[in-house]
Amino acid sequence: LDVCKDGSCRGVVDTGTSHFGVPGSSINEFLTALATDGVEGEDCRFVDAPSMELVLEGFTLNLGPRNYMRPLAVPSNMNVGSSRGVTMESGGQADQFEAAAPASSSTRRLWPWQTQKPSHSCAPRIMPVNLPAPLGPNLFILGEPLLSRYYTVYDWKEARIGFGLAATKANKEALVQEGQEVDSQDEQQEEIYSFMQVTVTV
């Protein structure tokens, strides 16, 4: 997509965001590129959908549908997501992601990638980010879809972040499918997810 071709894009790595935030003006482009029709009961993380590449300075991060797609295919008469996304209120407070109420099947509009209304749809976990300068308007929020695939290290002193492919079962399976060898020493170990919130006062 051409949203970043002028070099104005910024990114925020946020461990507290469950979605992938994209500039609000480009939300339809991302939906059209990533979403697809679904089948009731089908796990959308395993559908045939394109990969997403984030080209940063010196390296590229890759996400597949297993990382960015909502697990469940939703009925066509159900509207999920937010029409506003993250925005700036007059009082300076960021509006949080909210789920819109289901719309009736007779009034629900088609998603940008649809030419006719299917029974179910697979949609990515993305939300619009509508913040003014200096953070916006081309601001990405790299939330859980990216952080579930990449292990991150934060260097407070040098103000930089390191990314490495996390040693998860899903990543190891993907590497094997690509023909790469992986360490099978801990193949039988159960994956453990830990969540924590830390407040730093300076």
Tens of pLDDT, residue by residue over 65-103, are: 999 999 999 887 776 665 555 555 554 433 333 333 333
Rounded CA gap, 202 and 195, in Å? 23
Residue 100: both structure tokens together: 């819109």
Q: What percent of the chain has pLDDT over 70?
A: 70
Contact (Cβ atoms closer than 8 angstroms) between residue 48 and residue 36 = yes
pTM of the complete model:
0.72
Residue 39: both structure tokens together: 């089948």
Mean pLDDT computed over 12-27: 94
Phi, psi of 23 (to 5 degrees): -55, 130
Tens of pLDDT, residue by residue over 128-148, are: 999 999 989 999 999 999 999
Least confident of 131-140, 147-156, 185-194: 185-194
Q: C-alpha angle 124/95/98, rounded to 5°? A: 45
Nearest to 144 by CA among 160, 166, 122: 166
